[in-house]
Amino acid sequence: MEKTKHSKLRTFIGFYKPHKNLFALDMVCALFIALIDLSFPFVTKIAMDELLPDKAYRAFFVVIGILLAAFILRAILTYIVAYLGHYMGVKMESDMRNTLFTHIQKLSFKFYDKTRTGHLMSRIINDLFEITELAHHGPEDLFISVITFTGAFILMLRIQWQLALVVAAAMICMVLFAIRGRRGMSKKSKAVKEQTAGINATLESSISGIRVAKAFTNESHEIRRFAEGNEEYKSARASYYRVMGSFMAGMNFFTALPSLIVIAVGGYLVMRHGIELSVLVAFTLYVNTIITPVRKLMNFVEQYAAGMSGFERYLELMNTEPEIIDKPDAEILQDVKGHIRYQDVSFTYDDEVDVLKHIDLEIQPGSTLALVGPSGGGKSTLCHLLPRFYETTDGNIFIDGKNIKDLTLKSLRDNIGIVQQDVFLFADTIMENIRYGRLDATDEEVIDAARRAEIHEDITGLPNGYKTYVGERGVMLSGGQKQRVSIARLFLKNPPILILDEATSALDTYTEHRIQEAFERLGEGRTTLVIAHRLSTIKDADEIIVIDNEGIRERGRHKELLANGAEYATLYHTQFEQ
């Protein structure tokens, strides 16, 4: 456990390295601030003991002038610490967020199948928010606290060691209380982070599904569901604030205690002529000087609890290893002919649900393979294994004789284009959504792709043409228009292998016919896998297979399968007799 804590702290400290110059400047400024704070009580004592009794008024006002200049310098240093220190914290937070976002881009589909979007958003945004404060104030507050406390204590020992030991005893009690309070606050802070993630997940789900909620008039259910999560969050916050309140109350008591002790014990010593009045004044000033770093320590405890609980959750996600990665000697796939072979391929979700069993399949270059069968029969999974969105449980897949596990993921996926039934468009313009197929494409190439996808006329008919903003998930476009934009994206990518996952199922008959013609043009000379719902669209496929979770049931061309009178024929006649 202790090793894990040290490892976590080392990881956190590692984020300071790119910003070491800013960090050094912050610490130097903090050091001078601490030295100025330490000098004030000592100079005050000298003035009261030597300058005023000796009537050295000129020297006295020179000292006052020097102190004024020191406080002006302190103000400048405080500005530097406040501005550049916080800026350094923001840069560290930004580095962590970039690192985390880059990491989750590498995670497989299986991870996203199990993880809610709202939880990810909370970890990327909310959990790192307090890192800025911790990254800046943490080292600075600890540094100032140690320097100021140590310096003040040494000077107090030189002035009156018995009184200094009494103050030290009170301070030790305060530090012990602070350490104990940190543990409770850290635990409660982590619970608040978890509840915040839960609220984000519920909110993301409810907003994304607002149209479904309205269609079923379930707004009150969504409000109630959100209220329940909000109530849990409120309870977690209340529990955290109860612990924090106890901690703050105790710390306020302990910060007041040293001043009371100094006045009581110092006053007694003055009465007994044990010390001079100037010593008591100096001690009172030093106690106030020490209280500031102690309060900084108190703030640090709260910041550390909140910041490190978020950092723990950050590390949990960072420690989630990608299931699918390149081999060290992975080969770049190029000059693709499109010969595909599935060799005894099986796939299981979480070692529990068998989706594919012992699939043997060969697809010739430039041919079209259609997959039909019941929902949940493994058609989409079979296609998703090809670009390694999921990893096969058993067996291997080859492209042009090369095992896809021996290829780089980027080159593999660069050579495969996918159009899915559930189209996702980014909240951007139509132009940029199509350009996503090839980010370096010119406007002319985008427009040409749109023409081939039979969407150009629709786009030019919109008020802003290709600059039309499509809204969240493309809500400003019809289902058919969204589908054709995604198809244009595929035209632009121009890959040698195509996967059409019920790509025309959302289209009306007229548009479907136009898109089928476009697909036929695009598919010329390319290997194409088509998952079909409407069997009329796959009559001309080079091979059709009927697949379910037991494996491949039938295979052949359209007329052959109809003549067999088996499962494909049943599916076909059922569909066309309705």
Considering the domain 2-198+230-318 in this protein, what is its CATH number?
1.20.1560.10
**Whether pLDDT at 3 is above 50:** no
395 Rama sector, left if φ>0, alpha if ψ -120 to 50, beta otherwise: left
What integer best gives the mean pLDDT of the chain?
81
Rounded to the nearest 10 degrees, how much is the dihedral formed by the CA atoms of 565, 556, 371, 336?
A: 180
Which tokens belong to 143?
A: 């540094």
**Whether pLDDT at 303 is above 80:** no
CB-based contact 541:368 (threshold 8 Å): yes
Residue 454's φ and ψ, nearest 5 degrees, are 60, 35
**Whether pLDDT at 399 is above 90:** yes
Which tokens belong to 106?
A: 């590498």
CATH class of 324-415+497-506+526-578: alpha beta
Q: What is the pLDDT of residue 209?
A: 67
Of 545, 485, 552, the C-alpha closest to 518 is 485
At 325, which helix (H) or strand (E)? Answer: none
Least confident of 74-88, 174-188, 349-363, 390-404: 174-188
Looking at per-residue pLDDT, the higher value among 372 and 476 belongs to: 372
**Whose structure tokens read 């081939």?**
452
Q: What is the pLDDT of residue 511?
A: 65
Q: What is the mean pLDDT of residues 338-351?
A: 88
Three-class secondary structure of residue 527 per DSSP? strand
Q: In 127-270, where do the E strands start and end?
A: none
Q: CA triplet 141, 147, 150: central angle to 5 degrees?
A: 125
Give Cα separations from 92 to 23, 78, 88, 102 (angstroms). Answer: 11, 21, 6, 15
Q: Which residues pair with 556 in a beta bridge?
A: 544
Of 197, 201, 179, the C-alpha closest to 310 is 197
CB neighbour list of residue 545: distance below 8 Å, 6 or more residues apart: 361, 369, 370, 371, 372, 552, 554, 555
Convert the pLDDT of each residue in 270-280 to its tens digit: 787 767 777 77
**Whether pLDDT at 233 is above 70:** yes
**Whether pLDDT at 285 is above 80:** no
Q: What is the pLDDT of residue 340?
A: 94
Number of H helices, E strands in the chain: 19, 10
Q: What is the pLDDT of residue 76?
A: 93
**Whether pLDDT at 302 is above 60:** yes
Q: What is the mean pLDDT of residues 251-273?
A: 77
Ranges 115-129, 160-174, 183-197, 341-355, most confident: 341-355
Question: d(Cα 346, Cα 391) in Å, to the nearest integer?
Answer: 10
What is the residue extent of each domain of the chain?
A: 2-198+230-318, 324-415+497-506+526-578, 422-494
Question: Is the fold of 2-198+230-318 the same as that of 422-494?
Answer: no
CB-based contact 341:362 (threshold 8 Å): yes
Please provide the DSSP assignment of 99-146 as one string. Answer: HHHHHHHTS-HHHHHHS-HHHHHIIIIITTTTHHHHHHHHHHHHHHHH
Residue 555's φ and ψ, nearest 5 degrees, are -155, 145
Strand-strand pairing, 416-420 and 497-501: parallel
pLDDT band at 1 (very low <50, low <70, confident <90, very high): very low
**Whether pLDDT at 282 is above 60:** yes
What single-letter amino acid sits at 133?
E
Which tokens belong to 87?
A: 């800026």
Q: What is the pLDDT of residue 5?
A: 54
Looking at per-residue pLDDT, the higher value among 415 and 471 belongs to: 415
Convert the pLDDT of each residue in 89-130 to its tens digit: 888 888 888 888 888 888 888 888 777 777 777 777 777 777
Of 130, 140, 10, 31, the C-alpha closest to 84 is 140
Q: What is the pLDDT of residue 63?
A: 83
Of 347, 313, 395, the C-alpha closest to 125 is 313
Q: What is the pLDDT of residue 576?
A: 65
**Whether pLDDT at 326 is above 70:** yes
pLDDT band at 411 (very low <50, low <70, confident <90, very high): very high
Q: What is the mean pLDDT of residues 61-75?
A: 89
Q: What is the pLDDT of residue 360?
A: 92
CATH class of 422-494: alpha beta
Q: What is the mean pLDDT of residues 257-281?
A: 76
Chain centroid to Cα 430, Å, comes to 27
Give Cα separations from 116 to 119, 153, 195, 424 (angstroms). Answer: 5, 53, 14, 17
Give Cα separations from 244 to 197, 296, 308 (angstroms). Answer: 21, 15, 16
Looking at per-residue pLDDT, the higher value among 211 and 158 belongs to: 158
Q: What is the pLDDT of residue 508?
A: 64
Convert the pLDDT of each residue in 560-578 to its tens digit: 888 888 888 888 787 765 5
CB neighbour list of residue 95: distance below 8 Å, 6 or more residues apart: 15, 18
Q: What is the pLDDT of residue 139?
A: 81
Q: What percent of the chain has pLDDT over 90?
A: 12
Convert the pLDDT of each residue in 529-544 to its tens digit: 988 777 777 888 889 9
Q: What is the mean pLDDT of residues 124-137?
A: 74
Count other C-beta atoms under 10 Å from residue 48's C-beta. 17
Q: What is the pLDDT of residue 297?
A: 72
**Whether pLDDT at 25 is above 60:** yes
